[in-house]
């Protein structure tokens, strides 16, 4: 039996996973800057770490998953001012949009989701500590900076010598000592509201983006923790800066770094600034949530995911194949409980969360199950259906759960089930009595209502077209 | 035309509402202490202020609605320790349960929902201010107290002389100077985790409950704001203490106090501690959300609401009457847009949010509409249906919106609609052809699927039983 190995993007090697504390995993994932609503790129990152967490939990670990909400930054302040609403209300309304999209996609809520503005005292403590240790200073304009030259280890996460580092673009304030230095704390800019300022020993101001993640990860996971995750675009400068802050503060910080690749369209990164993004809402309103989930988790998390209409069409075909098999199996042997995972699936997931190989295993078992169905071999059908449900479940794709969860309008669904079952029965009786006209009438009635009836060796099955 | 008057529970009079800033209303509502999930009492309070807010917005005000989450207190720390999970994770999981119940009930999310732990700096500022002004002191054990004897105005909210005040029960720490004093800041107790402590000029500790609301209301609504709401049990000591803190700090604080009465069972207040509560989940899983909403908003918010099975049964009957009328009206004149409010409804709502009188107006218009339906008087039906929809909408009960929102499983609903429509058509044709047997067969088929068909002057209508 294999054990979990994962690609650590600092050492750039696949390493055996060994948690700091046996049986427990602390995982910090960079969450959203809630300047606007979520797009598919955000959802992919969240889904990547949802699968990581589910697999860790399946493997027996108790996972503490902390994911921040960046609820103050330049863009939030600017956009809220433009919209004429308080920045904190602007941030919260988008925080809610993220939650709704996560919920729709079956992404488990993190153990805790702290807001940056809720952790100013911890940030001030960290900054004081860095100043005391000679790794930070207060600029003339009241900004506080991390001093990159003071920390020879800087650049190691992204494999750059400190001299090669090109400064991040939003750090071009005038009171830096070195262009590579970055802001820990920002003095207020003209026109920014009084509510966006906190008192500090160095004057009024607000958090720098990088500071919050170092402060909050330490607060909730301790000075050293297991996994730090985020989107690939956060590696530099965000994670390099986080790492500099936390390690210069004397903390062990992160043992494994994981980065999730982008969603691309025509090869370009999907992003707000490029304007080539698909909003979560636009996709989730047009496609069933498990299909979107399948589309976003089919590629390996470290590969770019080129997204087009055919990505969703392919996911729909796969979803229909999975659910079609499980439905037919249930017709033969009754609903099958979640079964044990085949070893090849476990191997695939243990190999750096290899979802493409994992889905290949699922397809192979569906293939075997379909053969067994054709042979009406109930024992094999039962075993394969259990395995398929088990594998889908650990990926957050258990069709039985999705059906139950989607049944908000249960009364309508139940009425539909009962009505269609009765009509299908009558049609079967009519066929048995060779009353072809009656049988066809019923079939036409159902078809006109968008209900597709399929005759198989085990009797007729039906589903709502496009459901 | 009347203008809005509301009962101010400080002056104990119905007062004309005049906002601090024309066209705007700042409203602070005490939210949940997230030690456990919500019960019907919590939902009633939230719903009361949801209706207040909707009515204010309908009246043309721009409402800033702030509602706190108390995410740290003695009970949260104790229960989390017992369950073996971090207190912040315990708090957040229940915060999520509250959100889910609010969402299910159609309660609009507040403009901002700050967490207590996110506002420690503001609380420390307030405490420092009170110490400086001679209204607070640090006890020997490190607790910081508000000095009740230092503030002659204490007791005015609840109409008590300062000498008559009986101390709140959770304030019995040993280092008070006066038994009536209450904690602004609490020194750590033995066994409390390090994450539940913040550094202050007076040593480590954590927020007192009352402090947070004074700090956060000022932060988000300013030193003086319009409405402060909460459950009736919060009047004393919580709101009395809040008022003492904020006014002793030199702030104008609240212009109108509003308190929502309890949900009772057999005359006793529904509460966690008495164990006689109905959880939100247990009620919402067994009854349609708009029916629960109707049941909780039927009584005036200042009256106790005695809750039993018949409360929900009565609400179901009323809901069926409203939706039945609107359905029949739609069959005659097509779907009716939200119409203008009858003046008597506006009068009822302007009279301290008088929902019982407001519902009486709705019933009266349904009655008139039903008479017009019997007469097939399309013009009157149209007018009454628009008025009824308009009145229900402003109370968060627009059936069209509820139907759309409940339609998560749209494909199934659409298929059901199409299928039933076709069967009802066939039945009508069979009846027209006097083929009673065929007509009855179809009716039986539908009945067996839980679909009720009713024949009326305008043709047959149907609905799913219990939907």
- Compare all CA atoms of chain A with the CA of B417 and give the residue at the minimum distance: A449
Rounded to the nearest 10 degrees, the angle between the axes of helix A40-58 and helix A378-394 is 120
Report how far residue B258's alpha carbon sits from residue B235's, in angstroms, rounded to the nearest whole number. 9
Q: Name chain B contacts of A117, Cβ cutoff 8 Å.
A: 118
Query: With 90 as the cut, is the pLDDT of residue B443 above it?
Result: no
* H-assigned helices in A298-398: 309-333, 343-350, 355-374, 378-394
> What is the reported pLDDT for B421?
77
> What is the reported pLDDT for B412?
64
Q: Which has the higher per-residue pLDDT, B467 or B259?
A: B259
Which of B64, B86, B419 minimises the CB distance to A449?
B419
Q: Name chain A contacts of B219, Cβ cutoff 8 Å.
A: 195
Q: Which has the higher per-residue pLDDT, B397 or A165?
A: B397
Which of A120, A419, A466 minimises the CB distance to B411?
A466
Report how far residue A431's alpha carbon sits from residue A420's, in angstroms, rounded to the nearest whole number. 16
Q: Name chain B contacts of A451, Cβ cutoff 8 Å.
A: 415, 419
Interface of A with B in 65-94 (CB under 8 A): 86, 88-89, 92
Which of A109, A121, A415 minimises the CB distance to B464?
A415
pLDDT digits (tens, 9 = 90+) for B292-304: 999 999 999 999 9
> What is the reported pLDDT for A325?
97
For residue B72, give the nearest of B39, B118, B107, B112 by alpha carbon.
B118
Q: Name chain B contacts of A199, Cβ cutoff 8 Å.
A: 121, 125
Query: With 50 as the cut, is the pLDDT of residue A136 above it?
Result: yes
Q: What is the mean pLDDT of residues A5-34?
A: 97
pLDDT digits (tens, 9 = 90+) for A256-279: 999 999 999 888 888 877 888 899
Q: Name chain A contacts of B112, Cβ cutoff 8 Å.
A: 86, 88-89, 92
- Confirm or reject contact between A404 and chain B (CB < 8 A): no
- Biggest CA pair distance of chain A: 94
Which of B88, B112, B412 minimises the CB distance to A92?
B112
> What is the reported pLDDT for A408?
41
3-state secondary structure of A84: coil
pLDDT digits (tens, 9 = 90+) for B183-193: 999 999 888 99
* Structural domains of chain A sorted by starting position, each given as residue range(s) with its CATH number in brackets: 5-260 (3.40.50.620), 308-397 (1.20.120.640), 409-464 (no CATH)
Query: With 90 as the cut, is the pLDDT of residue A412 above it?
Result: no
- pLDDT band for position A1 (50/70/90)? low
User: What whole-number percentage of chain B has pLDDT above 90?
Assistant: 77
- Confirm or reject contact between B462 and chain A (CB < 8 A): no
As a whole number, the mean pLDDT across chain B is: 92
pTM of the full structure:
0.85
- Residue to mutate among A412, A430, A453, with most B CBs inside 10 A, is A412
For residue A297, give the nearest of A325, A261, A270 by alpha carbon.
A261
- Confirm or reject contact between B441 and chain A (CB < 8 A): no
Q: What are the distances in angstroms from CA A324 to CA A321, A385, A464, B27, B432?
A: 5, 11, 12, 53, 42
| Subunit contact B450:A413, Cβ cutoff 8 A | no
- Compare all CA atoms of chain B with the CA of A88 and give the residue at the minimum distance: B112
Which of A88, A406, A415 minimises the CB distance to B450?
A415
Choice among A233-247, A367-381, B447-461 with the minimum mean pLDDT:
B447-461
- Residue to mutate among B103, B126, B415, with most A CBs inside 10 A, is B415
| Subunit contact A451:B419, Cβ cutoff 8 A | yes
Query: With 80 as the cut, is the pLDDT of residue B114 above it?
Result: yes
> What is the reported pLDDT for A459?
67
| Subunit contact A415:B119, Cβ cutoff 8 A | no
pLDDT digits (tens, 9 = 90+) for A55-108: 999 999 999 999 999 999 999 999 999 999 999 999 999 999 999 999 999 999
Ramachandran region of residue A301, left (φ > 0), alpha (ψ -120 to 50) or beta? alpha
**What would the 3-class secondary structure string for chain B be?**
CCCCEEEECCCCEEEECCCCECCEEEEEECCCECCCCCEHHHHHHHHHHHHHHHHHHHCCCEEEEEECEECCCHHHHHHHHHHCCCHHHHHHHHHHHHHHHHHHCCCCCCCECCEHHHHHHHHHHHHHHHHHCCCEEECCCCCEEECHHHCCCCCCCCCCCHHHCCCCCCCCCCCCCCCCCEEEEECCCCCCCHHHCECCCCCCEEECHHHHHHHHHHHHHCCEEEEEEEEHHHHHHHHHHHHHHHHHCCCCEEEEEEEECCEEECCEECCCCCCCCCEHHHHHCCCCHHHHHHHHHCCCCCCCEECCHHHHHHHHHHHHHHHHHHHHHHHHHCCCCCCCCCHHHHHHHHECCCHHHHHHHHHHHHHHHHHHHHCCCHHHHHHHHHHHHHHHHHCCCCHHHHHHHHHHHHHHHHHHHHHHHHHHHHHHHHHHCCCHHHHHHHHHHHHHCCEEEEEECCEEEEEECCC
Q: Name chain B contacts of A448, Cβ cutoff 8 Å.
A: 418, 422
Q: Which has the higher per-residue pLDDT, A467 or A66?
A: A66
Q: Tell me chain A's radius of gyration from C-alpha atoms.
A: 26
| Subunit contact A89:B112, Cβ cutoff 8 A | yes
Report how far residue A186's alpha carbon sits from residue A169's, in angstroms, rounded to the nearest whole number. 15
Report how far residue A220's alpha carbon sits from residue B86's, in angstroms, rounded to the nearest whole number. 9
| Subunit contact B446:A419, Cβ cutoff 8 A | yes
Residue that is written with structure tokens 């918010």 in the block: B301
- pLDDT band for position B408 (50/70/90)? very low
- Confirm or reject contact between B204 and chain A (CB < 8 A): no
- pLDDT band for position B448 (50/70/90)? confident
- pLDDT band for position B344 (50/70/90)? very high
Q: Name chain B contacts of A89, Cβ cutoff 8 Å.
A: 64, 111-112
- pLDDT band for position A166 (50/70/90)? confident
Choice among A122-136, B281-295, B308-322, B443-457 with the minimum mean pLDDT:
B443-457
| Subunit contact B422:A448, Cβ cutoff 8 A | yes
> What is the reported pLDDT for B413?
65
Query: With 90 as the cut, is the pLDDT of residue B380 above it?
Result: yes
pLDDT digits (tens, 9 = 90+) for B221-237: 999 999 999 999 999 99
């Amino acid at each position: 039996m294999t054990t979990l190995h994962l690609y650590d993007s600092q050492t750039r090697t696949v390493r055996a996973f060994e948690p700091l504390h046996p049986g427990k995993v602390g995982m910090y994932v960079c969450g959203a800057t809630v300047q606007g609503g979520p797009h598919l790129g955000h959802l992919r990152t969240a889904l990547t770490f949802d699968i990581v967490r589910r697999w860790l939990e399946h493997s027996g670990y108790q996972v503490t998953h902390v994911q921040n909400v960046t609820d103050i930054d330049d863009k939030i302040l600017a956009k809220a001012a433009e919209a004429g609403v308080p920045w904190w209300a602007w941030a919260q309304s988008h925080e809610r949009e993220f939650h709704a999209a996560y919920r729709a996609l079956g992404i488990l809520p993190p153990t805790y989701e702290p807001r940056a503005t809720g952790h100013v005292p911890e940030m001030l403590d960290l900054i004081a500590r860095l100043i005391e240790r000679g790794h930070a200073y207060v600029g003339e304009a009241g900004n506080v900076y991390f001093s990159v030259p003071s920390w020879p280890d800087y650049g190691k996460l992204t494999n750059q010598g400190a001299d090669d580092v090109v400064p991040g673009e939003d750090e071009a304030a005038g009171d830096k000592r070195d262009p590579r230095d970055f802001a820990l704390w920002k003095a207020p800019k003209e026109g920014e509201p009084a509510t966006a300022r906190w008192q500090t020993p160095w004057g009024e101001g607000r958090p720098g983006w990088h500071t919050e993640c170092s402060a909050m990860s330490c607060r909730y996971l301790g000075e050293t923790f297991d996994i730090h995750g985020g989107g690939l675009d956060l590696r530099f400068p965000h994670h390099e800066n986080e790492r500099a802050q936390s390690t210069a503060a004397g903390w062990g910080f992160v043992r494994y770094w994981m980065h999730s690749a982008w969603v691309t369209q025509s090869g370009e990164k999907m992003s707000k600034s490029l304007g080539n993004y698909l909003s979560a809402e636009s996709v989730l309103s047009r496609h069933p949530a498990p299909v979107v989930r399948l589309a976003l988790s089919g590629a390996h998390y470290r590969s770019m995911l080129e997204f087009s209409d055919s990505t969703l069409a392919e996911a729909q075909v796969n979803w229909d194949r999975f659910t079609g098999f499980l439905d037919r199996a249930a017709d033969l042997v009754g609903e099958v409980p979640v079964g044990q995972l085949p070893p090849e699936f476990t191997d695939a997931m243990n190999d750096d969360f290899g979802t493409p190989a994992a889905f290949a295993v699922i397809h192979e078992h569906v293939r075997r199950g379909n053969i067994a169905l054709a042979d009406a071999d109930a024992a094999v059908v039962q075993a394969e259906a259990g395995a398929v449900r088990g594998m889908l479940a650990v990926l957050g794709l258990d069709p039985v759960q999705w059906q139950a969860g989607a049944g908000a309008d249960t009364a309508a669904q139940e009425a539909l089930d009962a009505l269609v079952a009765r009509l299908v029965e009558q049609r079967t009786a009519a066929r048995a009595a060779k009353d072809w006209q009656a049988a066809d009438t019923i079939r036409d009635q159902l078809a006109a209502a968008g209900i597709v009836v399929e005759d198989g060796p085990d009797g007729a099955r039906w589903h709502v077209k496009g459901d």
